[in-house]
Amino acid sequence: MNTKVYDLKWTETGTTTLNKNVFGIEVNEDLIHRALILQLANARVAIAHTKTRGERRGSTRKLFRQKGTGRARMGSNRSPIRKKGWVAFGPRNDRNFTLTMNRKERQKALFCVLSSKVASKSLVVVQNLDMKAPKTKEMQAVMNALPVGKSVLVALAEKNENIEKSISNLKTAKYVQASYLNMADLLKFETLLLTEASLKQINALVA
């Protein structure tokens, strides 16, 4: 599999090879969905917390006698149906939302998304992407020059602070390292922008 390579002025400079085992496999939407749910669930942090009966402060004395008052029977003041009582079935910060998935399944799900990018012509490869200083205006000009759709995920082979800072103020673009490509970002952003170096890194994931 081959794809065109461009410079930052959108001039074709040649072609490069795509690993068919990474960019040319059959798309499995069920696997992609499972991998996305896995990522979102494992990133979830339980913050909301309600008190149980044992954690609620207050007396355990019966409020009034069982019979003879004409009122409904009532026990402790900490009952969940009373004001300031414990919360029944409330959220707890000790709940574990972690999911598991086989490594090969996670990897194949990633390859499925990359293959879908190629199939929908949403993969753009450039020779190189570098800036001498962080300039959002210059980065916006680069994004406008390339047919990258409404939103773009830029994946570079190595950490580049100038590119990261230049993209950070753009609402429709995000920077990641190629080794940190993930389901949520790939599905959120319409186009994937790679350099030849980052493409070589991804191609090497499978022989």
Structurally, how many domains does the chain consist of? Answer: 2
Q: Residue 207 has what pLDDT?
A: 63
Confidence check: pLDDT of 34 > 80 = yes
Alpha-carbon distances of 108 from 32, 104, 116, 126, 189, rounded to whole Å: 9, 6, 12, 25, 19
Output Rg (C-alpha) for the chain, integer angstroms.
27
Average pLDDT on 77-89 reads: 90
Give 154's contacts (C-beta < 8 A, 6+ positions apart): 129, 163, 167, 173, 174, 175, 176, 193
Confidence check: pLDDT of 107 > 90 = yes
Residue at a domain's end among 73, 96, 119: 96
**CA 194 to CA 191: how far, in whole Å?**
10
Residue at a domain's end among 56, 79, 96: 96
70-82, pLDDT tens digit by residue? 999 999 888 999 8
**CA 128 to CA 194: how far, in whole Å?**
9
Contact 127, 196 (CB under 8 A): yes
Portion of the chain with pLDDT greater than 70, in percent: 100
* pLDDT interval class at 90 (50, 70, 90): very high
CATH number for position 12: 3.40.1370.10
